[in-house]
Amino acid sequence: MAIESTLVLCKPDAVSRGLVGEIVARIERRGYVITAMRMLQLDGDRARKHYGEHEGKPFFNDLVNFITSGPLVALAVEGDGAVEACRQMIGATNPLQAAPGSVRADLAQSIGRNLVHASDSNESARRELPIFFTDADYMSRRHDLERWIKG
């Protein structure tokens, strides 16, 4: 696989329930590197941009309202096959259908309060990361990643 960067969001329910550390720990224990992290309150314009592919769908406004309802923590995650691995770690959107051991299966309460978002493709990651981070936000941890790849 190739080294990839992806976006993971710890949504407002993860922040309010004190689960950000658990989510970050799972990502790091799997060997992925967090190259940027920010806690922020998302505004409506940025939320609509983030969820742009869902505009016009019946649940679009609910997505925007929820993601702007409280602070969230945005993570830029890097590593070998990071996009698919992060999707696997967080589990299916519906916690009742998520694989055992995934964040959503273990911790989420409902489809609407499912704790996390992760980019679903490299294209999505390239579109989503700049919504939350500028170049100045990234810290180089390439040496950590290279050490991990070599084993």
Q: In whole angstroms, give the CA distance from residue 108 to residue 122.
A: 25
Of 50, 54, 117, 143, the catalytic one is 117
Could you tell me the two tokens for 116? Answer: 């996390």
Alpha carbon distance 62, 25 (integer Å): 29
Residue 54 falls in the annotated catalytic set: no
The answer to pTM > 0.85 is: yes
- Are 11 and 115 in contact, with CB atoms under 8 Å apart? yes
Residue 149: what pLDDT? 58
Predicted confidence (pLDDT) per residue in 102-134, tens digit: 999 999 999 989 999 999 999 999 999 999 999
Nearest Cα residue to 43 out of 72, 75, 76, 10: 72
Q: Which fold has domain 3-150?
A: Alpha-Beta Plaits (3.30.70)
Residues lower than pLDDT 50 in the chain: none
CA dist 129 and 75 (Å) reads 9
Q: What is the pLDDT of residues 82-91, one digit of tens each?
A: 999 999 999 9
Which single residue is written with the structure tokens 């679903």? 120
Domain ranges of the chain: 3-150
